[in-house]
Amino acid sequence: MSAPVAISVFSKENPFHAKLAENRLLNKPGSAKETRHFIVSLEGSDLTYKAGDSLGVFPTNRPGDVAEIIERLGASGDELVSPAMLKLAAPITLREALSQRLALSGPTAKLVNTLLAKTTDAAEQARLSELVKPEAKEALAGFLDEREYTDLLAEFPHAKLTPQELVDHQRKLMPRLYSIASSAKLYPREIHLTVAVVRYTTNHRERLGVCSTFLAERMLVGETFAPVFVSDSHFGPPEDPTKDAIMVGPGTGIAPFRAFVQDRVATGATGRNWVFFGDQKSKTDYLYQEEWENYLVKGQVSRLDLAWSRDQGEKVYVQDKMRASAAELWTWIKNGGYFFVCGDAKRMAKDVDQALHEIIAEQGAMPIEQAKDYVKQMKKDKRYQRDVY
């Protein structure tokens, strides 16, 4: 059973300023992915954590993006502002607000209305009027999805927002959570993370995920600090060490299961471990390959099923591997095994959930309605846990 975690003086409200001890690329050359292993040092704090917890990180925005907005506003950055969302006791500089306190992405429909009210240019007025028409709701949502604040300032320069007007439309810059990929039993003064660096293109511009690139590029190992906090979770390995654990974690979803296995090995848990991992290509995207292979050789992981989605023409996903071993999976579950899923919520976790229901119905020879009840009971008993995002 996991030991209760002592209350620290550090929390979301009073984050610890931590240094990075390591920043290592996990993918091999030729990969389409950029997944990084970070080690966050807990030295100087009384923070502790348990397998299944997440680390909250407060990022800052990219200086280049901040400078671009300041320039488009025709400001210096030293102007004092008091963003409506922040409810500050005293104003702060525009630069500080844009760097540390406000999100630069996710512009709202309200901003489009403000731009329309303020622009002095006929062509801009015409474009904005089209966008705010009641029948153009979908088009407006699509338009906003493709843009950040800086794009709107660039496209509608005649609206000439003041710094205060802009910041009043912005949302708070929120901390991001990352599943902890290490066990405190092995690494009491470190937290390991497995982070996919987010990069994509919209409106012909490369977009960079704020926090994943903050960790990857703006945090300098051993030098700069990031405000962090441990987010307690109900997600965690079986309390009973004799229970079997089935862990399904493609992509960065593998992170907490590295922690679970480390934890169960460190405590001498006798329950078996079955890991399902998947990613694009076996040659370049096998995260923590040596560690998994060592666990397998030592029998600390009993089964390791790998789903490489782009090694062949047809996609192979973790749920295909589950279906291929349906009988054995059912035996583990029937005998009290725990089933864990971590990673993408939108597609993967839904499809894995569906596969789990089908496997239970088929292998347990029960109608799908009864399989649904079986899964509901597993959830109640904490035998089916998900950490999806």
Ligand X SMILES: Cc1cc2nc3c(=O)[nH]c(=O)nc-3n(C[C@H](O)[C@H](O)[C@H](O)COP(=O)(O)OP(=O)(O)OC[C@H]3O[C@@H](n4cnc5c(N)ncnc54)[C@H](O)[C@@H]3O)c2cc1C
Ligand Y SMILES: NC(=O)c1ccc[n+]([C@@H]2O[C@H](COP(=O)([O-])OP(=O)(O)OC[C@H]3O[C@@H](n4cnc5c(N)ncnc54)[C@H](OP(=O)(O)O)[C@@H]3O)[C@@H](O)[C@H]2O)c1
Q: Which stretch binds ligand Y (CB under 6 A): 11-19, 22-30, 98-106, 316-324?
A: 316-324
Ramachandran angles phi, psi of 36, nearest 5°: -115, 145
Residue number with CB closer to ligand Y (311 or 362): 311
Toward ligand X, which CB reaches closer, 181 or 375?
Answer: 181
Is the Cβ of residue 16 or residue 38 nearer to ligand Y in the bound state? 38
| Binding flag, residue 311, ligand Y (CB under 6 A) | no
What is the closest distance, in whole angstroms, from the C-beta atom of residue 172 to ligand X in the complex?
A: 13
Q: How far is CA 211 from CA 25, 42, 389, in A?
A: 16, 19, 15
Decide whether 185 or 323 has the Cβ nearer to ligand Y.
323
CB of 360 to ligand X, least distance (A): 26
Q: Which stretch binds ligand Y (CB under 6 A): 67-75, 93-101, 236-244, 312-320?
A: 312-320
d(CA 20, CA 293): 27
Distances (CA, A) of 310 to 69, 218, 307, 344: 39, 31, 9, 17
The yes or no reply on residue 280 touching ligand Y (CB under 6 A) is yes
- By a kind-dependent CB cut-off of 5 to 8 A, residue 177 interacts, out of ligand X, ligand Y, none, with ligand X
Q: In residues, how long is the chain?
A: 389
Q: Which is nearer to ligand Y, 94 or 306 (CB)?
A: 306
d(CA 127, CA 224): 44
Of 237-276, binders to ligand Y (CB under 6 A) are: 250-253
Of the pair 215, 378, the CB lying nearest ligand X is at 215
Among 278, 301, 305, 338, binds ligand Y (CB under 6 A): 278
Instruction: Look at residue 95 and give the partner it binds from ligand Y, ligand X, none, a contact being a CB closer than 5 to 8 Å depending on partner kind.
Output: none
Q: Could you say which of ligand X, ligand Y, none residue 195 binds, taking C-beta under 5 to 8 angstroms by partner kind?
A: ligand X
Binding partner at 179 among ligand Y, ligand X, none, C-beta below 5 to 8 Å by kind: ligand X
Interaction between residue 153 and ligand Y (CB under 6 A): no
- Structure tokens given for 99: 């760097």
Determine the Cα–Cα distance for residues 5 and 69; give it in Å rounded to an integer. Answer: 43
54 binds ligand Y (CB under 6 A): no
Residue number with CB closer to ligand X (47 or 116)? 47
Structural contact between residues 176 and 57, judged by C-beta atoms closer than 8 angstroms: yes
Cα gap 168→85, rounded to integer Å: 7
Please identify, using beta-carbon distances, which residue of 17 and 315 lies nearer to ligand Y: 315
C-alpha–C-alpha distance, residues 100 and 172, integer Å: 9
Residues 168-197 that bind ligand Y (CB under 6 A): 196
Q: Which two tokens stand for residue 331?
A: 């035996």
Cα dihedral sign, 89-95-100-101: positive
178 binds, among ligand Y, ligand X, none (CB under 5 to 8 A by kind): ligand X
Note whether 348 binds ligand Y by CB under 6 A: yes
Closest alpha carbon to 306 in 254, 348, 372, 232 = 254
In the complex, the residues that contact ligand X under the rule CB under 6 A are 54, 105, 176-179, 194-196, 198, 200, 202, 209-212, 252, 255, 387, 389
Beta carbons of 81 and 167 less than 8 angstroms apart? yes
Helical H runs in the chain?
A: 63-73, 94-96, 109-118, 122-132, 137-145, 149-155, 163-167, 210-213, 255-266, 289-298, 318-324, 326-334, 348-363, 368-380
CB of 100 to ligand X, least distance (A): 14
Residues binding ligand Y (CB under 6 A): 35, 196, 198, 250-253, 278-280, 309-310, 315, 317-319, 343-344, 346-348, 351
